[in-house]
């Protein structure tokens, strides 16, 4: 391997790492706040990327209909509880909360000339849809079992992944697609061509992570989420509703997942089932950080990205095998470092 190739692989690895870091961040956040291991993150990525592809081709993305459907289910779930307690006025409020955002988005995608909108506007609509998608998934799938064990929540995640995966085939078809770069062109850096899109990916990922850091560090809502992550019951006693915290975590996960899906679709072809494997790589990164530490997850993302990039050079057929088996030495190291511990004290 020449130095040039190493440099190129390194650049490619860091680009991948930037995306995995975003995913890992969202996974750690969701796990800390809700104890949900959010496997369907990968489907959010593909749904976002493929919805954007559909919009650019001038088709209203069917995701909007899925959102309306989820909103109806969420409303019905609440209605059964509300009707039992006989507070009919809350029925209307719940209807507005769950149905207004999906219906608004549905109206937007069917009223606007989608293909002639500016690229950033199309992206904004996609992000908005996923910002609604995340909390609705939480409300419909996870919230009814919020008190269940981590294991049950994990099974729910896998069930949701299976459902969304097949639904993805129904909504978007089996064809793979790619998105154009945000800005075309490249420049030379140390004798190596760097695409501007690479800068977009790394830069936006870093910027998003920085914004999230500031949000958690300084804003009241950020602090509320952190409090819930540290101690659910304690936070609840301080007036932070777990349902609110869960919804907020899933909103962030939806937006971050959608953004990473869009980023990755500008570098490679994405089809309805591509997200799962990419999402799992985000998991490997998050696990390297112990599912608890944000800097650890970022370091894990770097390790996963570089491993994948270099493995694709040496043994391209086995690159995913290598990335996924990376988890074994990493867990061995973690289990040696932390030693046995008791997980039941909750």
Q: Please report, as ranges, the residues that interact with other proteins according to CB under 8 A.
A: 37, 39, 141, 144-145, 148, 150-152, 154-156, 158-167, 169-170, 174, 277, 280, 283-284, 287, 291, 317-318, 320-321, 324-325, 327-328, 331-332, 334-335, 338-345
- What the block records as the tokens of 240 is 């932070």
Shortest CB 327 distance to other proteins, Å: 5
Shortest CB 144 distance to other proteins, Å: 5
- CA 138/CA 135 separation, integer angstroms: 5
> Please, what's the b/e burial string for 291-327 (b: 16 or more CB within 10 A of its CB; e: otherwise)?
beebebbbbbbbbbbbbbbbbbeeeeeebeeebeebb
Shortest CB 188 distance to other proteins, Å: 36
Which residue's CB is nearer to other proteins, number 40 or number 257? 40
Shortest CB 287 distance to other proteins, Å: 6
Which residue's CB is nearer to other proteins, number 7 or number 291? 291
- CA 145/CA 259 separation, integer angstroms: 28
**Length of the chain as a residue count:** 346
Shortest CB 218 distance to other proteins, Å: 27
Which residue's CB is nearer to other proteins, number 207 or number 331? 331
Which residue's CB is nearer to other proteins, number 199 or number 273? 273
- CA 246/CA 242 separation, integer angstroms: 6
Residues whose CB is less than 8 angstroms from the CB of residue 80 and which lie 6 or more positions away in sequence, other chains included: none
Residue 279 C-alpha from the chain's centroid: 8
Shortest CB 197 distance to other proteins, Å: 28
- What the block records as the tokens of 38 is 């959010």
Strands (E), the chain: 186-189, 192-195
Which residue's CB is nearer to other proteins, number 122 or number 307? 307
Which single residue is written with the structure tokens 């609604």? 132
Which residue's CB is nearer to other proteins, number 214 or number 325? 325
């Amino acid at each position: 391997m020449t130095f040039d190739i190493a440099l190129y692989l390194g650049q490619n690895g860091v680009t991948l790492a930037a995306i995995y870091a975003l995913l890992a961040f969202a996974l750690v956040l969701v796990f800390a706040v809700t104890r949900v291991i959010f496997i369907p993150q990968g489907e959010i990525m593909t749904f976002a990327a493929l919805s954007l592809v559909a919009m650019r081709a001038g088709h209203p993305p069917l995701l909007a209909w899925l959102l309306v459907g989820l909103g109806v289910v969420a409303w019905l779930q609440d209605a059964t509880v509300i009707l039992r307690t006989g507070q009919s006025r809350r029925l209307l409020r719940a209807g507005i909360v769950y149905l207004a955002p999906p219906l608004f988005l549905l109206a937007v995608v069917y009223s606007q000339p989608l293909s002639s909108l500016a690229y950033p506007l199309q992206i904004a609509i996609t992000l908005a849809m996923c910002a609604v998608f995340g909390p609705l998934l939480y409300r419909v799938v996870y919230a009814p079992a919020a008190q269940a064990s981590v294991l049950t929540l994990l099974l729910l995640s896998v069930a949701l992944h299976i459902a969304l995966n097949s639904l993805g085939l129904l909504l978007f078809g089996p064809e793979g697609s790619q998105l154009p770069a945000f800005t075309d062109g490249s420049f030379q850096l140390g004798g190596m061509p760097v695409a501007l899109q690479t800068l977009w990916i790394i830069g936006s990922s870093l910027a998003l992570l920085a914004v999230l850091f500031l949000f958690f560090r300084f804003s009241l809502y950020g602090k509320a989420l952190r409090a819930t992550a540290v101690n659910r019951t304690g936070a609840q006693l301080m007036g932070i509703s777990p349902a609110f915290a869960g919804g907020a975590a899933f909103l962030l996960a939806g937006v971050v997942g959608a953004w990473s899906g869009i980023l990755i679709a500008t570098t490679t072809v994405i089809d309805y089932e591509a997200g799962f494997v990419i999402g799992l790589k985000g998991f490997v990164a998050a696990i390297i950080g112990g599912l608890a530490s944000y800097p650890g997850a970022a370091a894990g993302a770097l390790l996963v990205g570089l491993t994948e990039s270099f493995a694709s050079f040496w043994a391209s057929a086995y690159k995913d095998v290598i990335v996924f088996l990376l988890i074994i030495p990493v867990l061995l190291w973690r289990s040696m470092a932390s030693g046995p511990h008791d997980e039941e004290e909750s």
